[in-house]
Amino acid sequence: MTARLREVLHTAAADVPAYPVYEQALATARRHRRRTVLWAAAALVLLALAGAVLPLARTPAVGPAADAAAALPDRVGAPPFGSLHATDRPRLGPASVIFTGQAPGLMHGDEGSIIAVVGADADRYRIIKGEREALAGGDTVLSPDGRRVAFRSLSLTPRVEIVDLVSGRSRTVSSGVSGTVLTGPLGWSPDGRALLVGDAVPANPERSAYRGVVSIVWLDGERRTRLADGSEGFAWPAFAPDGARLAFQAARTVTVTDLDGRRLSSFTLAPETELAGKGAWSTDGQALTVTRRDGDSWSLRRVDPSTGRDLGATDNPAVSGVTAIRLLGWAADGSAWVVAYYPAPDAPAAFDAPLELDQRLAYGNVGTVRVLTLGRGADVPTTLLTAPQDVVSIDVSNDVIRSGRTRGASPPHGVGPRFWFWAVLITVLVAGFAAYRNREGLALWLDNRRARQARRPGGRSSRSQRLDNTRNGHGRPWD
């Protein structure tokens, strides 16, 4: 090569901009790190969301056999903040108890009710969001096997919603009554195939009065039969053990019908007497049970379902110091299980005087409830379950009542799984957003950290040395 040619090549090479190998390598590394961080954050978010909303592929369903050890807990507590919903996984399975009230953790929104659900064999809690002032055992009822909960739907159209605690699915049912302004479940048939639904329908254009309508809805096709249509509301219906007859109370009158709506009998209750509740029929279906108040004491008596004739008191102790009692059913040993409603400390009503039943059970008048057993021949009731203050209503599955089993309980406290899920998810999202917004500063911090490590004795890697050599003109970019 001649000197002239060498000079021309050097001149041409001087005009060509140098390729910034070191700077480009750093920029590529920064882009790779940013992509890695963003993809990792996205993967974490997707995994968290998938765990919340997608079904778990191999999660075994909890079947009806899970209630083999169903038992009544000896106490319940308000569900923790962030408790799982009844439709969340893992599924709860059959329940032993549901309860409502105005204690902390039992309200949502301005006036909505939280329906607390307790597992059949363990202190696993779930919640359902229901309408305002829901009454467990009244307009919020647990199916006989504890598998389903029926309650007033939150939708704009009056209807009943049913949540299956085993499958997690929910559905709505309607009584088909036109013009209804309020609808709610009243009770389950013994086999769980039909639901009794009550409606309030305006009795005049001014809506100054309402009439009550009772219908039975078969859930396998929503076949409906109207059982009663009257000027008064209906309370605490009771199915006969064979499911062929139904007794319900309107004002002071008890009516017994079959499931096709044919009236079999009707009679007027004595003063201070009420149909006892969902467990009002005797186990042999030959008598109805009523509750009678004497001052602040309540006792159980039997009446003839055809005529209403008083058949005398049952061999069970009376309950004192309560505003009312409701009969849940009869255990295998012949004892009666009842809900006792204790008055609130500041309740304005005098409960030892005549008072309508709906006023006795109103949210502001009930302080707490207990489940008691009235043993045959016993002198005093025995407490089976206690509840916190402001738990005002409770329902127990028929399977648990018949078995008579109880268990020691330890209600959950602190915060629930939903709280931790949202806390982790929000933390990941905020951290990912902050990392993205400060990606340049983060990259600079990482570069400075790497540089400090490289300046330490023995800290420079062979690749760093090759990059430095390339930057100084020694070596090749592909080395």
Whether 277 has a pLDDT exceeding 60, the answer reads yes
pLDDT band for position 55 (50/70/90)? very low
State the total domains in the chain. 1
Handedness of CA 373, 395, 306, 283 (dihedral sign): negative
238 found inside a domain = no
370 found inside a domain = yes
In this prediction the pTM is 0.80
Whether 403 has a pLDDT exceeding 50, the answer reads yes
Mean pLDDT of the chain: 85
277 found inside a domain = yes
pLDDT band for position 28 (50/70/90)? low
pLDDT band for position 452 (50/70/90)? confident
- For residues 88-117, give the mean pLDDT: 93
Give 45 or 425, the one with higher predicted confidence.
425
Best-predicted range by mean pLDDT (23-27, 46-50, 96-100, 155-159): 96-100
Q: What are residue 117's DSSP bridge partners? A: 98, 126
Whether 390 has a pLDDT exceeding 90, the answer reads yes
pLDDT band for position 19 (50/70/90)? low
What pLDDT is stored for residue 60 in this prediction?
Answer: 37
Write a three-state SS string for the chain. CCHHHHHHHHHHHHHCCCCCHHHHHHHHHHHHHHHHHHHHHHHHHHHHHHHHHCCCCCCCCCCHHHHHHCCEECECCCCCECCCECCCCCCCCCEEEEEEECCCCCEECCCEEEEEEEECCCCCEEEEEECCCCCECCCEEECCCCCEEEEECCCCCCCEEEEECCCCCEEEECCCCCCCCEEEEEEECCCCCEEEEEEEEECCCCCCCEEEEEEEEECCCCEEEEEEEECCCEEEEEECCCCCEEEEEECCEEEEEECCCCEEEEEECCCCEEECCCCCECCCCCCEEEEEEECCEEEEEEECCCCCCEEEECCCCCEECCCEEEEEEECCCCCEEEEEEEECCCCCCCCCCCCCHHHHCCHHHEEEEEEEEECCCCCCCEEEEECCCCEEEEEECHHHHHHCCEECCCCCCCECHHHHHHHHHHHHHHHHHHHHHCHHHHHHHHHHHHHHHHHCCCCCCHHHHHHHHHHCCCCCCCC
Whether 185 has a pLDDT exceeding 90, the answer reads yes
Per the CB < 8 A criterion, the answer to whether 143 and 150 are in contact is: yes
Q: What are residue 163's DSSP bridge partners? A: 149, 170
What pLDDT is stored for residue 31 in this prediction?
Answer: 65
Give 460 or 183, the one with higher predicted confidence.
183
What pLDDT is stored for residue 244 in this prediction?
Answer: 96
The pLDDT tens digits of the residues spanning 221-261 come to 879 999 988 766 667 799 999 999 999 998 889 999 999 99
In the block, tokens 């008072």 appear at 355
384 found inside a domain = yes
What pLDDT is stored for residue 273 in this prediction?
Answer: 95
Token pair of 405 as six digits: 């089993």
42 found inside a domain = no
Token pair of 251 as six digits: 């004002």
What pLDDT is stored for residue 46 in this prediction?
Answer: 57
Rounded to whole angstroms, the Cα distance separating 369 from 311 reads 29
23 found inside a domain = no
What pLDDT is stored for residue 58 in this prediction?
Answer: 35
Give 36 or 197, the one with higher predicted confidence.
197
What pLDDT is stored for residue 48 in this prediction?
Answer: 53
Structural domain range at position 367: 272-404
314 found inside a domain = yes
What pLDDT is stored for residue 467 in this prediction?
Answer: 46
Q: Which of 114, 165, 170 is nearest to 143 (CA)?
A: 165
430 found inside a domain = no
In the block, tokens 């990912």 appear at 432
In which order are the strands placed within the sheet that holds 223-230? Answer: 182-188, 194-202, 210-218, 223-230
In which order are the strands placed within the sheet that holds 382-386? Answer: 324-330, 336-343, 366-374, 382-386
What pLDDT is stored for residue 278 in this prediction?
Answer: 96
What pLDDT is stored for residue 65 in this prediction?
Answer: 38
Whether 215 has a pLDDT exceeding 70, the answer reads yes
pLDDT band for position 47 (50/70/90)? low
Rounded to whole angstroms, the Cα distance separating 47 from 181 reads 44
Rounded to whole angstroms, the Cα distance separating 426 from 251 reads 54
Whether 474 has a pLDDT exceeding 70, the answer reads no
